[in-house]
Chains A and B, each alone.
Chain A
Amino acid sequence: MSALLVVAGLLGAWEAYADSGATSSFVLPAPHEIAVALWNDAGLLAANLAPTAVEVGLGILLALLLGFTLAVAIHLSAIVRRALYPLAVGSQAIPIAVIAPLLVFWWGFGVFPKLVVIVLICFFPVLVTTVDGLAAVDPDQLKLLRTLDASRWQAFRFAELPAALPAALSGARIALTVGVIGAYIAESQTVTSGSHAGLGHQINADLAAVQTPRAYAAAFVLFAFAIACFYVLSLAERRLAPWAPRRRSSPA
């Protein structure tokens, strides 16, 4: 409810500013122009949302898988930690534009190079939060489990893994929010074949053609999509880690 009021206030101010003639519609379209573009081009926007949604969904899943697996390996092995953690940190400094041509050269114009870009951007928050979560288990807890004859694997499965889950899910939430912008970067940097190449691709094309209201409409769809994904993840979190105290971190 309060979010709606904030949005209404911002939209009102935006509308007033755009209608005052301070800028032109090519630079900043008024909200009503964006609404018209949303309505008129709904079919096109939906067609372009589909590939972007697939990229984000698959990309986040793969990033979760990679981030979590790496975190477990780093937690269990000091050698892996020393070997891979610096590389993982360094991977976050790679400008995507540098490797994009190589990705396209290897894997072509399909969805795969975009997934690589999204995974590269999104696995890191999952990795860091999960490593910290795994390491945060009370040492006394592990001692206790040893006196109950828990093996290393059992201590991991019964104590460390569930303890790390809320942290991993926090990482997933960060990954999700950067995943949508990651999809835009991926689509901007790698060429796509086919008529509906994704919302990022469409935004760039519309901006080049001075179709600014439609670019804003596409950006609005991304905005709404990110919020929807965040809600879905919050629901998943309640099912996966129901023991975790309700934090005030979900958007609801």
Chain B
Amino acid sequence: MATELQTRPEPVAPSRTGDGISLESVSHAYRGPRGVVLPVLQDISLQAARDEVLGVVGPSGCGKTTLLELVCALQRPDVGAIRCPPAALMPQHDLLLPWFSALDNAGLALRFAGASRAQARRRAVEAFAQLGLAGFEEARPHELSGGMRQRVAFLRTLLSGKPLLCLDEPFGALDAITRSEMQDWLAHALLRQPHTVMLVTHDVEEAVLLADRIAVLSPRPGRVVEQLDVQIPRPRRRTDAQVVALRERALEALHAGARGERA
């Protein structure tokens, strides 16, 4: 796993104090076989307060997933400091365990924390109705639609009880209609139950709909091209003039980053 990356000199582990997210001048390189060193992230500084949604957008391969792994303490950054509370990851592909029912998948973290299967299921079943999953408790993942699987995966992340949720392209694998439904659903879920969220996506519109602030990254090695505050009242609709305008701004920053300009 990440052991080979942890043996590098002077690693700075994520500090677990404070409820917001703070990255200070974080740089990280991928070390491949035969001494290949590939800079992935360069001088990333990001902030988000507690219960804020921090959107990170960037082109494919800009190091977004590495950024999440650093925040989730799966890797340690080569340079820089990360301060954030314990984080749970929701991956792009749901990675539900096919041998468990939806309910057992949702309660996985509770069982890792020592709860019995019955206890974990009791906690998970309460949330199932709220997430529109009632009736599918015993379904195996392959029997669920893509949107349902992502909701179960989200619930699994939520039930970990971690203060920070790291969403890695959570709806990237869904078709366009389901994706927009799931974006509305997540916006409502976060409105009801605010959480500190780091949302990594290549979908600018998704970031504008869901985030409180957006960091735009350049192609690899990823650096922050622009940071945008999203001061648009919720619920947001993708046709709102403000949403459209901000989406255009973020897209421009994305293109500028791709051309190598610093905005």
- Chain A positions within 8 Å of B, measured between CB atoms, are 138-151, 154, 158-159, 162, 241, 243
Contact = CB atoms under 8 A, between A and B. Distances in A.
Contacts of A162: 97, 99
Contacts of A142: 1
Contact of A148 (B93, B99, B160): B160
- Name the residue among A149, A159, A162, A241 with the largest chain B CB count within 10 angstroms: A149
A145 B89 CA distance: 9
- Name the residue among B97, B142, B162, B166 with the largest chain A CB count within 10 angstroms: B97
A142 B74 CA distance: 11
B109 A149 contact: yes
A151 B112 contact: yes
B98 interface: yes
B220 interface: no
Contacts of B98: 243
A217 B27 CA distance: 75
A142 B97 CA distance: 11
Given A158-B97, A243-B140, A144 B112 contact: no
Given A147-B74, A147-B88, A147-B89, A140 B95 contact: yes
A141 B160 contact: no
A148 B95 contact: no
Contacts, number: 56
Nearest to A142: B1
A147 B160 CA distance: 9
A159 B88 CA distance: 18
A145 B96 CA distance: 10
Interface in B140-188: 140, 142, 156, 160, 162, 166
Given A141-B95, A159-B97, 18 more contacts: A139-B1, A140-B93, A140-B95, A143-B72, A144-B95, A145-B112, A146-B1, A147-B72, A147-B74, A148-B108, A148-B160, A149-B109, A149-B112, A150-B108, A154-B111, A158-B97, A158-B111, A243-B142
Given A143-B1, A143-B89, A144-B91, A150 B112 contact: yes
Interface string B93-122: 101011110000000110111000000000
A182 to B, nearest CB: 31
20 contacts: A138-B95, A139-B1, A140-B93, A141-B95, A142-B1, A143-B89, A145-B108, A147-B87, A147-B88, A147-B166, A148-B156, A148-B160, A149-B112, A150-B112, A151-B112, A154-B111, A154-B112, A158-B100, A158-B108, A162-B99
A242 B87 CA distance: 33
A140 B160 CA distance: 17
Contacts of B19: none
Contacts of A143: 1, 69, 72, 74, 89
Nearest to B153: A144
Nearest to A155: B112
Contacts of A154: 111-112
Contacts of B166: 147
Contacts of A146: 1, 74
Nearest to B166: A147
Contacts of A147: 72-74, 87-89, 160, 162, 166
A13 B140 CA distance: 49
